[in-house]
Structure 1
């Protein structure tokens, strides 16, 4: 059994931030905001990197700021700390973080990475599904901030000099930059949300498909087990009765019946190994028995004859290899039909006629008998044999019909498509089509 890793698993897979412990992102942001803001505060004024906002740095004008004090550090740490609540209370987190960030800028502290905590809070709230609240809140918050700074703001050169909130007056360039920054964050959050929804839908679809395939596989195996066991156990039951009845009067015939029991039980074990082999884990020994098909039709008919049925077989059309599913379905339909004849056709003598017709695009399977136990073969909810045959035909896109035949007995007919079958490369001569080939057989008891 191979132990090598599947292809593609050698690459390192980075986990998503949503799967990280909740404290990881706040710790990283706290470090970045504090260190980044301290670094921005010590930039030299007038050098083009004055620690002012990005929209003002190209002018080279010096911009004042309030030195980072205990309150400033607390505000820089407060935003990341609030992010600890982003998964359970995303709306509260984004509102509280916005207030903390606004206080930081109203105090006219140095520009830097201070808004990062608000960015993460907005992303978390949108991804959590609170889209309208975040969009509306962002618009209302920016309008309130610009309105307040227009009332209490000072010229940029006097920023951070006097008063508890020495914030600069809003400018057109600054307002456009902030609004654009907010739109970029919101659009990015929407893209992340839609990507997450698509991934969740893909996973949901994949899980449903796996459940459907598992259900179909269970149904297929249930049909296989039913057909294998029902046919062979029925044959064993009939032959056991024959052996018990003739054990004293006709030991030789009883010996023949016991031999038939041995063959039927061996066949059942062999086919069960093939069915149950599908449950083996990867790398274990494959089933030793070939898949059942019309190639084993003669053996199937022989076992039916040994059970006391008179079986006539008729094959018309050009015989050729079939698709595995069609081959198996045709064989199982014949097998189940003969099982029903054995169990329900009533007292003998009973004749079963099996007809296989190879057409250009389909194969027709017909099994009929002249028994008197027709009513017992009615497709009632309690039974599963006829329902299983119908399901096999429907799964291949074929047609199925079963019911009493005129004059007594029962008839099963199925038409199975050959579209998926391989081309005929066997070189075998075709079966006669000008006249039917009939092979009667009887097991005298």
Structure 2
């Protein structure tokens, strides 16, 4: 068995109840209650003062019913209901429009009461209750039209005539302006919210990608080094009495591998603690293949390395991915193969880099397979660069890992080049 089986755990997902956390639609939402969740007392009191004083000024010269106690009470009611405009915007817009309609039907003068209607409408539309705002404004306009042109005979003041249609044009224009401005503000706020959500999602994706990268680094470093340590520990235990010198060599290898692993783990953890800082040590690349060969030899694996094509500078990301793929492939041979030899080929193709890691097999006796993270990590590294990794048994026996990684330069994809082949054996 090989390191091919990925454990995919499924976390059961329970759908929330359709009624969970829902509020009656006419109540609106608790969102946007203002700073600290307090009622907007100050702005409402200021609005009430403006409406009362402005209406007294507007009453002169309109020939309407004098503003008495009932009129003032209706004006206060039209403004007071706006106290709940953040908590219950539907109640606010419906209440202020109803109080305003009664106020107008009783023949009181026009004035800043329409400002209260505008505030209620803005609160409802911006919070997403557009239909409630439209219905409230529509009923206000229809009720005013009916009272001003058909019911005026039975409504105060006595002897009043129908309202001029020019006045209705002004009221209609005012309502249309309120709705248009509120809708414009709603659209802008939705755009701001969408942009903010996209920034937050991008930040989460970046953080997730960084965590995944570090997890792959830690897995590759630890899996390779611990595999070497495990093999050498077994050798040391077996030869401790019969061949102390060979056991000493195994312990020396364990010390060297553990020291290197600690250094690389420390480097990854330092970058985790100080995000955004440049790493203090260069990332490993294919120039460190001889070190991998030495570590594999210490674990009892003879590795042959061959290269072909023109060796060119490899981008850092591709270089690191290539090194980790070869490292993981050799780790799998040490852990899961009965073969004590492996063959590594690095093919430079100009626009791409091809890696082949072969062993003669068969699977080690009693091997039950790995967790699957090794092959998954190799595929993720290659896919992040637009490449692929294929792993599986060879036709003639044994196992092969084949990885293809595109190479990009600052000027785009380099053109393929073919030159003489060079072979090196370690």
Which range moves more in the overlay, 32-41 or 390-399?
Answer: 32-41
Query: Residue 356 of structure 1 aligns with which residue?
Result: 346
Query: Residue 32 of structure 1 aligns with which residue?
Result: 50
Which range moves more in the overlay, 206-215 or 96-105?
Answer: 206-215
CA contact (8 A) 2:358 2:401 kept: yes
**TM-aligned CA deviation for residue 92 of structure 1:** 3.2
CA distance change for structure 1 residues 404 and 375 in 2, over 3 Å: closer, same or farther? farther
* Whole-angstrom distance in 2 between the partners of 1:119 and 1:228: 65
* Whole-angstrom distance in 1 between the partners of 2:311 and 2:410: 12
Give 3-state SS (helix, strand or coil) of 1:173's partner.
Answer: helix
Please list the CA deviations of residues 44-87 of structure 1 after superposition, one character each: whole Å capped at 9, or x if unmatched: xxxxxxx5xxxxxxxxxx53244333223222221111112323
**TM-aligned CA deviation for residue 234 of structure 1:** 0.7
Q: Which has the higher contact order (CA 8 A, sep 6+)?
A: 2
CA contact (8 A) 1:340 1:377 kept: no
**TM-aligned CA deviation for residue 98 of structure 1:** 1.5
CA contact (8 A) 2:101 2:144 kept: yes
List aligned pairs for 1:35-184, cutoff 5 A.
35-41=53-59, 51=60, 62-153=61-152, 163-164=156-157, 169-184=162-177
**TM-aligned CA deviation for residue 175 of structure 1:** 0.9
Give 3-state SS (helix, strand or coil) of 1:22's partner.
Answer: coil
Could you tell me the TM-score, scaled by structure 1's length?
Answer: 0.78
Query: Residue 10 of structure 1 aligns with which residue?
Result: none
Please list the CA deviations of residues 205-225 of structure 1 after superposition, one character each: whole Å capped at 9, or x if unmatched: 333333333333222222211
Unaligned runs of 5+ in 1: 1-15, 42-50, 52-61, 155-161, 425-430, 441-445
Unaligned runs of 5+ in 2: 1-30
Could you tell me the TM-score, scaled by structure 2's length?
Answer: 0.82
Query: Residue 372 of structure 1 aligns with which residue?
Result: 362
Query: Residue 237 of structure 2 aligns with which residue?
Result: 244
**TM-aligned CA deviation for residue 376 of structure 1:** 8.2
**TM-aligned CA deviation for residue 318 of structure 1:** 2.1
> Which entry has the higher C-alpha Rg, 1 or 2?
1
Give 3-state SS (helix, strand or coil) of 1:262's partner.
Answer: helix
* Whole-angstrom distance in 1 between the partners of 2:160 and 2:264: 86
CA contact (8 A) 2:32 2:87 kept: no
Residue 329 (structure 2) pairs with residue 341 (structure 1): no
* Whole-angstrom distance in 1 between the partners of 2:311 and 2:366: 34
* Whole-angstrom distance in 1 between the partners of 2:161 and 2:370: 83
Query: Residue 435 of structure 1 aligns with which residue?
Result: 421
CA distance change for structure 1 residues 381 and 19 in 2, over 3 Å: closer, same or farther? farther
Please list the CA deviations of residues 372-424 of structure 1 after superposition, one character each: whole Å capped at 9, or x if unmatched: 2179889x784211121112111211121111123322111100010257899
Residue 198 (structure 2) pairs with residue 205 (structure 1): yes
CA distance change for structure 1 residues 112 and 137 in 2, over 3 Å: closer, same or farther? closer
CA contact (8 A) 2:34 2:86 kept: no
Residue 302 (structure 2) pairs with residue 305 (structure 1): no
Which range moves more in the overlay, 245-254 or 365-374?
Answer: 245-254
* Whole-angstrom distance in 1 between the partners of 2:167 and 2:157: 22
Which range moves more in the overlay, 306-315 or 381-390?
Answer: 381-390
**TM-aligned CA deviation for residue 153 of structure 1:** 4.2
Query: Residue 418 of structure 1 aligns with which residue?
Result: 407
CA contact (8 A) 1:294 1:327 kept: yes
Residue 217 (structure 2) pairs with residue 228 (structure 1): no
Pick aligned residue for 1:402 from 376, 391, 397: 391
Query: Residue 19 of structure 1 aligns with which residue?
Result: 34
Query: Residue 280 of structure 1 aligns with which residue?
Result: 273
**TM-aligned CA deviation for residue 432 of structure 1:** 11
CA contact (8 A) 1:127 1:192 kept: yes
CA distance change for structure 1 residues 435 and 130 in 2, over 3 Å: closer, same or farther? closer
Query: Residue 256 of structure 1 aligns with which residue?
Result: 249
Q: State the Cα RMSD in Å.
A: 3.0
- Count matched residues: 389
Query: Residue 326 of structure 1 aligns with which residue?
Result: 318
Give 3-state SS (helix, strand or coil) of 1:439's partner.
Answer: coil
